[in-house]
Amino acid sequence: MELSAIELVFWKPELVLFCKRSLPVIELLMVFEEQLWLVIEELWLENEELWLVIGELLLAHEELWLVIEELWLENEELWLVIEELWLENEELWLVIEELWLVIEELWLVIEELWLVIEIDHL
């Protein structure tokens, strides 16, 4: 059975007294609720700022990965140049070895000629 407000006051006067005594508590709770909403709003703003910082960090992170990728590509190019130089160096060493063999052969020819000259001279 539901009672109207007037019926409640008539039938339950102690309820009116309870409400009168509870009014300061209710007002205090309302003030507390307002302060709580202010704190929530402040936390919300800080949260938004935090998300902005996180967004900036993500952008910086992406930029850093782009720099790393660019450096990686430059490093690969550098390794290709080093490999090319190494191959050219190997070719050069082969040429030097061939020249050394030619020099040794020439030296043998010179020694033979020297022997021929010495024999001829005697």
**Band (122; pLDDT cuts 50, 70, 90):** confident
pLDDT at 22 over 90: no
Alpha carbon 36 to chain centroid distance?
A: 38
Max distance between CA atoms of the chain, in angstroms, equals 158
Global confidence as pTM: 0.46
Confidence of residue 119 (pLDDT cuts 50, 70, 90): confident
Q: Who contacts 16 (Cβ-Cβ below 8 Å, separation ≥6)?
A: 9
Q: Tell me the pLDDT tens digit for each residue of 49-71.
A: 999 999 999 999 999 999 999 99
| Predicted confidence (pLDDT) at residue 46 exceeds the cutoff of 90 | yes
Q: Please tell me the predicted confidence (pLDDT) of residue 75.
A: 96
CB atoms near residue 84 (< 10 Å): 10
Q: What is the pLDDT of residues 3-16, one digit of tens each?
A: 566 665 566 666 66
Give the percent of the chain with pLDDT over 70: 81
Length of the chain in terms of residues written = 122
First-to-last C-alpha distance (Å) of the chain:
152
The 3 state secondary structure assigned to 80-120 is: HHHHHHHHHHHHHHHHHHHHHHHHHHHHHHHHHHHHHHHHH
Q: Is the pLDDT of residue 120 over 60?
A: yes
